[in-house]
Amino acid sequence: MISGAALGGILLSAAIIRADEGMWLFNEPPRKLLKERYNFEPTDSWLEHVQKSSVRFNSGGSGSFVSEDGLVMSNHHVGADSLQKVSDETHNYYRDGFHARTLAEELPCRDLELNVLISIEDVTDRVNAAIKSGSTADEAFAQRRAITAEIEKESTDKTRLRSDVITLFEGGKYHLYRFKKYTDVRLVFAPEQQAAFYGGDPDNFEYPRYDLDVCFVRAYENGKPAHVEHSLKWSEAGAAENELVFVSGHPGHTSRLQTMAELAYTRDQQFPYTLSWLHRSEVMLNAYSGRTEENARRAKKMLFSAQNSRKAREGGLAGLLDPAVMTKKQASEKQLQDFYGKSEHTGDSPWKKIEAAQKVISEHALVYNLLETGQAFNSRYFQIARTLARSAAERGKPNGERLREFRESARESLEFSLFSDEPLYDDFERVKLADSLSWFAEKMGFTNELVQKVLAGKSPRERAAELVAGSNMKDVANRKKLYKADSSEFANSQDTMIQLALLVDFPARDVRKIIEAQAEIKQQAYAEIGKVKFAMEGSNSYPDATFTLRLAFGQVKGYEEDGKHIPFETTIAGLYQRGAEHKNKPPFDIPPSWLKQKSKLDLNTPFNFVSTADIIGGNSGSPVINRNAEVVGLIFDGNIQSLVLDFVYSDFQARAVAVHSSALIEALRKVYDAGPIADELTGKKHSNSK
Amino acid sequence: MISGAALGGILLSAAIIRADEGMWLFNEPPRKLLKERYNFEPTDSWLEHVQKSSVRFNSGGSGSFVSEDGLVMSNHHVGADSLQKVSDETHNYYRDGFHARTLAEELPCRDLELNVLISIEDVTDRVNAAIKSGSTADEAFAQRRAITAEIEKESTDKTRLRSDVITLFEGGKYHLYRFKKYTDVRLVFAPEQQAAFYGGDPDNFEYPRYDLDVCFVRAYENGKPAHVEHSLKWSEAGAAENELVFVSGHPGHTSRLQTMAELAYTRDQQFPYTLSWLHRSEVMLNAYSGRTEENARRAKKMLFSAQNSRKAREGGLAGLLDPAVMTKKQASEKQLQDFYGKSEHTGDSPWKKIEAAQKVISEHALVYNLLETGQAFNSRYFQIARTLARSAAERGKPNGERLREFRESARESLEFSLFSDEPLYDDFERVKLADSLSWFAEKMGFTNELVQKVLAGKSPRERAAELVAGSNMKDVANRKKLYKADSSEFANSQDTMIQLALLVDFPARDVRKIIEAQAEIKQQAYAEIGKVKFAMEGSNSYPDATFTLRLAFGQVKGYEEDGKHIPFETTIAGLYQRGAEHKNKPPFDIPPSWLKQKSKLDLNTPFNFVSTADIIGGNSGSPVINRNAEVVGLIFDGNIQSLVLDFVYSDFQARAVAVHSSALIEALRKVYDAGPIADELTGKKHSNSK
């Protein structure tokens, strides 16, 4: 461990990438690193096989072909959306699980699109050539959009494949990705939620774990199971300690270029502020839920979301408060700056530009959070009223000049959300609003002019009651009517929430303008840094995550925590033990199916395990494979220490959490009576009955 | 409702006291107010009877004689300490209740002292005469302490009664209170905790309620039930809507003189800060509790305390954010200032002095909270280590120069706490400490020098693990050994917590000195204001609460909340309904005794009710009586809106919550088979068997 005091003196000499770091591009894999660290050299056909066996869930997640008959493996929580959509009044497949015993029983998933990456082409030169020299940032943006649209259209016309130009290294590179699409996808199997998400919120982001977070779907073509050329074989043994493993999946977003200035802001201001808001929300929702069962039902989704966000921020902040992590970031930033310093530049460096922008953002962040993101007015009624009032105001402007969410391209999702008939409850709106009005007064000071205007001479609680009682935003027909009204009608509205939305609209737009201008400055500066990084490292590096296919690698390995060794794997026996320790109380109750079949199970079967592979949200459902590209596990979470991977890789305690391949087979055969699926996975059975 | 904008123009003309305000002295009762508002004139014998029927629990609470055989009524939560102390491994009377069916079964309470106020004598002139003119504040303090000690000793010698000189109006008056003491007190009856505290934390500070928060003890003299001259009769009907009622009890502490400057600080800084700490603690403790049953048990007391404090602050803050409340405070301050302005003064006014002191406090409050109150090092091990290290350092100083908690007078309670064998758990200490070290870094900034020194190059979590692992503070024998060690031994200690305590000791003492100097300035300024108030209002006013006997009055009355009318009373039927709404799940489960006897009960019996009487913590257990001084109820809580009463009285929504006298009788007779106690209360039976 390097102490903070020594921070200035550390300089890593040559390679920035060490250890098991990296979310690598399939066309620029870490050949050197793998050779050096693990004496492993992936062949081109190994890479092609893994790439084409990997599947992206466009609903947000990863998966893989695990049989030549188009069987796709992912997580229960990745399939959650589909499981809920195929459910009806009499079948709650999300909660209770699903099992198609024949092809005929496989249920079509609504709106689910799977993508398989077929080819990658570097189109950087063509994109850059289209930018006329001397263009302003806005002009360059438009020119870039035009050329990428042209490239994509050409490719689609030629290949009939979905074609996306992906911006990598913040604009250092542009790659054309071609995907085969599957839109006929059918549900095959999912366990009950209690098995998939065993331990609930208390165990979320934690390790050791005992979750069977799996879901199988099948890709169809022409009404029949897709026959796929590439699918992953199953490993007989599964993941073993210290083994080299790979994760092929779609990490969603990382911020590893984030400068020290921005990280310091995130650590010292943004995360602490967000955490205090989340702590407050969690307490408020818990207290509301404690009053009645019905309250608990109403607040459940919001409470889980607050807890999940809180844990994620806690983990991220803990990482940023770790001197080892920050020392590493500092050293890598210094290298980039030194490289940048070797050539001539005019004006401020991108790091200076970001620091300056960040300073402005930091001064306005509080007001932005309160007024524009609406923390001060935590009620759906307010959000709806503001959307309606702004919609009327924005509609009159040319499309390009509107606020982002009111552009034509966003219209469909705007209307979908605005006219949702999701039930809303006055008492819940009142409680949330009263609490947030108090937060507003606490943060801005009670004597602040806008606070005084908003509260209108009442206490937060009274004012919230008045605002909720005087608004008709609950009525969807009323929303539809107002959606057609023009601005003048809003100005005269007697609806209290409309009045509130108008009262705060000017200062809210004002602060948004300031923040967005700085964000634009930062984006351009990050593009500069991205180019520096790319120039310095070339293909010895990997770009920030972009929800496109990447290859990560690492070792199956436990870690030390609070002076204790956390073993790399758990066993099925551990599940029953954990249930017993909790007297089988939720969320630690053993699912009845597992209680019933306990005597049949080999309790020593490995259940979950961890590895040092570099993953982040979006990797959920990714296969964990060995050197032979055989499935040894299924990624479903990261531990709390892995949450810092958004900013920087660490293998000290950060771990990717996976279901062990042996547990999948054991459970399918013995708990779920799903032997045929296990046979299909392990190649013991051929073609499903075609 | 008066809006904030109109605030400057409001001036209440004559009387500051309106409505049902006041915690009045028994020797200066609100005769005029009662006559004007309720056409009620308490006679001297009425006042004497009520005064001498009232009982103070020195453990913190109120009560009353309710039979001539020394039966005393109070709350279950006031008797909690005694209930726990008489429990043993086989009897958990606190949880399960207690019922002595004969005098012989009444169990002696350990360390419980009851006081009954016998007489009040104004000794203001004698105290003031003892202060030599031209004395400094310190000299005056010493002279005052000497004369009050003299007066108390004289009185005790003469009367054999406990004699305390009470400082009222912050030094505007000194009254000599003489008390009859009862030290042989025996437990008679308490229901199970689930009946007494039905609804648990969710219902704490809330209304409507369904709690039977009662406990009976009996005062003994010479081994026999005390025969008392004054005891309250029982009302046949109990409290009725709009009825005038009185509360005779011992409010603990109020801050109604607090200036606008200090209130603004409380509202804008202190409460929001404390709330963010409490929210964070609650979430941390909840998350820890969620991991295992054993964790939940370990954290239970602390979690309840965090929730209770959070609710109390929320309520207080909501009051301070109510313009109506602040307008009233502002007007009363203005009156005092005008009165003060009529005479000549040199130097700053006391309001200016407080404002200046508050400014200094506000600048140092964060560091004070983190370092000196120890929020940054939330572990019992740290607290113990610091107490030991400071004890060694302070012991060498003259008694008067030591930190307050190390003076000889505090030695017994210091050692009691220091050598407590309360079990401590490394993992819990680690979790609390890691969270608080993170809070420290968030609040001071990660790059702060002291933060860096405390974290010593580690993340908060790692550092907490290291600190806990390297300390031997859990071992009581080790504490006893170190308690005898001198400072030099501490300087060389290898115990990590001792090292941490020493590392932060200097800055912690430093900031404490600053805060305490300002507190002294404020105390003197408040004494000046107290004198102004007393000069202006004379006996038309009441002093801030001092945990001495006071008379409050008010009406039995519901209120409007969030546009809904909250009725003044609940019924026993409501209890069962609430249980059913919650499917009988904790903390809303109906106690088995009540389930069993349901069919026997008159479900229309009033259960709890509210009144506008002016109460605060310490009033728990006070009798609610009618014009005839008959018991109509038993105070046990205030609603959330009453929590502002610390600063200012309001009858808008603030209500005192009481058990209805009819519910007490109904439950004693039909749920608990305690007819003889009901008979004793209602005068249907005489002398318990003497």
- pLDDT of B4 strictly over 50: no
Reported confidence tier of residue A18, pLDDT bands at 50, 70, 90: low
Q: Does residue A441 sit at the B interface (CB-CB below 8 Å)?
A: yes
Q: Taking CB atoms and an 8 Å cutoff, what residues of chain B touch A264?
A: 446-447
Check if the beta carbon of residue B187 is closer than 8 Å to that of residue B217: yes
A443 touches chain B (CB under 8 A): yes
Contact yes or no for B67/B668 (Cβ under 8 A): no
CA distance B101 to B676: 8
The closest CB to that of A292, out of B430, B465, B582, belongs to B582
Q: Which residue has tokens 């700490």?
A: B277
Looking at the DSSP assignment, which residues form a beta bridge with residue B224? B221
pLDDT for res A690: 38
Residue B588 class from Cβ within 10 Å (0-12 exposed, 13-18 middle, 19+ buried)?
Answer: buried
Is B267 within the bounds of a domain? Answer: no
Residues in chain B with CB shorter than 8 Å from the CB of A2 are 457
CA distance B635 to B660: 9
Enumerate residues 238 to 277 of chain A having a beta carbon within 8 A of any beta carbon in chain B: 264, 267-268, 271-272, 275-276
Cis omega before residue B587 (within 30°)? yes
What pLDDT digit, counting tens, does each position of A604-628 carry? Answer: 999 999 999 999 999 999 999 999 9
User: Phi/psi at B490 (nearest 5 deg)?
Assistant: -70, -40
Using only C-alpha atoms, chain B has a radius of gyration, in whole angstroms, of: 26
pLDDT band at A5 (very low <50, low <70, confident <90, very high): very low
Q: Does the residue A360 lie in any domain?
A: no
Residue A555 three-state SS: strand
Task: Tell me which chain A residue has its CA closest to the CA of residue B292.
Answer: A582
Q: Find the CB nearest B202 among A276, A287, A320.
A: A287
Whether the per-residue pLDDT at B623 is higher than 90: the answer is: yes
Query: B503 and chain A: CB distance < 8 Å anywhere?
Result: no
In this predicted structure, which of A57-61, B75-79, B621-625 has the lowest mean pLDDT? Answer: A57-61
Whether residue A563 lies within 8 A of chain B, CB to CB, comes out as: yes
CB spacing of B442 vs A272 below 8 angstroms: yes
Task: From chain B, pick out residues whose CB is under 8 angstroms from the CB of A457.
Answer: 1-6, 323
* Per-residue confidence (pLDDT) for residue A509, from 0 to 100: 97
pLDDT at B435: 96
Q: Please report which confidence band the pLDDT of residue A352 belongs to, taking 50, 70 and 90 as the band edges.
A: very high
3-state class (DSSP) for residue A330: helix
pLDDT category of residue B3 using cuts at 50, 70 and 90: very low
Mean pLDDT for the stretch of residues B93-119: 94
pLDDT band for B527, please (50, 70, 90 cuts): confident
Least confident of A45-59, B103-117, B278-292, B405-419: B405-419
Closest in A290, A442, A460 to B202, CB measured: A290
- pTM (2 decimals)? 0.85
Chain A residues touching residue B5 (CB < 8 angstroms)? 452, 457
Whether residue B283 is contained in a domain is answered as no
Q: Which of B5, B286, B582 has its CB closest to that of A457?
A: B5
The burial class, CB within 10 Å (0-12 / 13-18 / 19+), for B492 is exposed
Query: Which among B460, B380, B466, B470 has a CA at the least distance from the CA of B428?
Result: B380
CA dihedral sign of residues B237, B242, B248, B250: positive
Q: What is the pLDDT of residue A88?
A: 80
CB A357 within 8 A of CB A528: no
CATH number where B616 lies: 2.40.10.120
The predicted-structure confidence for B462-520, as pLDDT tens digits, reads as follows 999 999 999 999 999 999 999 999 999 999 999 999 999 999 999 999 999 999 989 88
In A, residues 185-204, which contact B (CB 8 Å cutoff)?
A: 201-202
CB A688 within 8 A of CB A679: no
Q: Inter-chain contact A201–B290, Cβ cutoff 8 Å?
A: yes
Residues in A touching B283 (Cβ below 8 Å): 279, 282-283, 310
In this structure, of A41-55, A273-287, B523-537, the range with the lowest mean pLDDT score is B523-537
| A584 touching B (Cβ < 8 Å) | no
* Alpha carbons A551 and A293: distance in angstroms, whole number: 46
Q: Which of A209, A433, A446, A447 to mutate to test the interface with B (most CBs of B within 10 A)?
A: A446
| pLDDT for the residue A198 | 96
Number of H helices, E strands in chain A: 25, 22
Could you give the number of structural domains in chain B?
Answer: 1
Residue B146 maps to a domain: no
Q: Is A244 helix (H, G, I), strand (E, B) or coil?
A: strand
Does the structure show a pLDDT above 50 at B367?
yes
Among A402-411, B188-197, B579-588, the range of highest mean pLDDT? B188-197
Is B457's CB within 8 Å of A1's CB? yes
C-alpha to C-alpha distance for A320 and A278, rounded to whole angstroms: 18
Return residues 293-352 of B near A (CB < 8 Å).
293, 310, 317-325
In three state form, how does the secondary structure of B438-468 look? HHHHHHHCCCCHHHHHHHCCCCHHHHHHHHH
Chain B hits for A318, Cβ within 8 Å? 438, 459-461
pLDDT tens digit sequence for B121-169: 999 999 999 989 888 766 887 888 889 989 999 999 999 999 999 999 8
**pLDDT at site B414:** 87
pLDDT digits (tens, 9 = 90+) for A231-245: 999 998 999 999 999
Per-residue model confidence (pLDDT) at position B5: 30
- Band the pLDDT of B18: cuts 50, 70, 90: low
Q: Domain containing A233: what range?
A: 20-113+183-253+546-682
- Any domain includes A500: no
Q: What are phi and psi of B671, to 5 degrees?
A: -95, -40
pLDDT at position A451, please? 97
The yes-or-no verdict on residue A412 having pLDDT over 50 is: yes
The conformational region for residue B178 under phi > 0 = left, psi -120 to 50 = alpha, else beta, is: beta
In a domain, A98, yes or no: yes
The answer to whether the CB of A443 falls within 8 A of the CB of A375 is: no
Query: How is residue A80 written in tokens?
Result: 């959650």
pLDDT at residue B520, as a whole number: 84
Q: pLDDT-based confidence at B686, cuts 50/70/90?
A: low
What number of other Cβ atoms are within 10 A of residue A342's Cβ?
7
**Residues whose CB is less than 8 angstroms from the CB of residue B637 and which lie 6 or more positions away in sequence, other chains included:** B204, B205, B209, B211, B213, B620, B656, B657
pLDDT tens digits, one per residue of A198-219: 999 889 999 999 999 999 999 9
pLDDT in tens, B207-223: 999 999 999 999 999 99
Residue B688: per-residue pLDDT:
46
Query: What is the rounded average pLDDT of the residues B402-419?
Result: 84
Report chain B's mean pLDDT, rounded to a whole number: 91
- ipTM of the complex in this document: 0.83
Helix (H) / strand (E) containing B571: strand B569-571
Mutant choice from B288, B462, B644 vs A, greatest count of A C-beta within 10 A: B462
A419: enclosing H helix or E strand: none
On the 0-12 / 13-18 / 19+ scale of CB atoms within 10 A, A379 is: buried
The beta-strand segments (E) located in A445-549 are: none
Residue B545 pLDDT > 90: yes
The mean pLDDT of B16-31, rounded to a whole number, is: 87
A287, A318, A582 member nearest B438 (Cβ): A318
- Which of chain B's residues have a Cβ under 8 Å away from the Cβ of A3? 456-457
* pLDDT tier, A688 (very low <50, low <70, confident <90, very high otherwise): very low
Q: Is residue B130 one of the residues assigned to a domain?
A: no
Q: Say yes or no to pLDDT of A689 above 50.
A: no
pLDDT of residue A560: 92
Q: Which of A318, A325, A457 faces B323 most closely, judged by CB atoms? A: A457
Q: Does B562 touch chain A (CB under 8 A)?
A: yes
**Cα(A327)–Cα(B360) distance, integer angstroms:** 37
How high is the pLDDT of residue B412?
78
Does residue B530 fall inside a structural domain? no
The residue of chain B nearest to residue A272, with distances taken between CA atoms, is: B442
| Token pair of A667 as six digits | 């459970």
Non-local (6+) Cβ contacts of B580 within 8 A are: none
